Amino acid sequence: MPPITQKLIVINVLVFAATALLGNNVVSLFALWPIGPLFLPWQVLTYAFIHAGLQHLLFNMFGVYMFGSDLERVWGAKRFLTYYLACALSAAITQIVVMHLTRAYYPTVGASGAVFGLLLAYATVFPQRTVMLLFPPIPMRAPVFVAVYGALELVLGVTGTQAGVAHFAHLGGLAGGFLLMRFWKTRR
């Protein structure tokens, strides 16, 4: 496993263990809150290293491993880390805007926005690769998988299905990843 991918997974696991030991007070300091009394500037990145439960952590770290490993091998450590953090940041900004517009007041945690950005990059860099859904096990090309998953996130976000899931943060990670890859492409 490439070094940055490995370090991201280790950091997320260590933070998960630390928050389990230290409790909700620590989570409140580092989770992403809407602009207001609990919002602190560092939360736009720290939220992406905190997870709501073991299943949440495992799915996100599986995504980091599955999509991040190959991307880091192609891009190198610096570009990969820049991309990952930019996707987490764009997911946070999107989530803050959506929480402001909907007047929602709850914390957001998890690396899902960054993972969605990785998924988009994976589909762009490896368009002929096949990705297998876990439930149900349906194989599809990576770009098709991204389009279907992105459309599903949009529908779930607009309809308010699956309360407690930051669907627009996921879409923000996709959008941020897309914009950064476009920026890199135009600079070449």
Query: What average pLDDT values come out for the chain (188 residues) when binned by 10 residues?
Result: 98 94 84 94 97 95 96 98 98 96 91 97 96 84 93 88 84 97 92
**23 Cβ contact partners less than 8 Å away, ≥ 6 residues apart:** none
The domain made up of 3-187 has a fold known as Rhomboid-like fold (1.20.1540)
Tens digits of per-residue pLDDT, 106-146? 899 999 999 999 999 999 999 999 998 777 888 999 999 99
Q: How many CB atoms neighbour CB 34 within 10 A?
A: 20
List the beta bridge partners of residue 141: 130
List the beta bridge partners of residue 30: none
On the CB side of 110, how many CA atoms lie within 13 Å of its CA?
27
List Cα–Cα distances, 9 to 3, 34, 118, in angstroms: 10, 26, 14
pLDDT score recorded for residue 25 = 77
pLDDT score recorded for residue 26 = 78
pLDDT score recorded for residue 144 = 94
Residue ranges of domains in the chain: 3-187
pLDDT score recorded for residue 165 = 85
The letter for the amino acid at 157 is G
> Whole-model pTM?
0.94
Tens digits of per-residue pLDDT, 56-68? 999 999 999 999 9
Burial of 111 (0-12, 13-18, 19+ CB in 10 A): buried
**47 Cβ contact partners less than 8 Å away, ≥ 6 residues apart:** 30, 31, 32, 88, 92, 107, 108, 109, 110
Joined together, the tokens standing for residue 58 give: 């495992």
How far is residue 64's CA from residue 172's CA, in Å, rounded to a whole number? 17
Phi, psi of 136 (to 5 degrees): -75, 160
pLDDT score recorded for residue 67 = 96
SS3 state of residue 130: strand
How far is residue 154's CA from residue 169's CA, in Å, rounded to a whole number? 10
User: How far does Cα 184 stand from its chain's mean position?
Assistant: 20
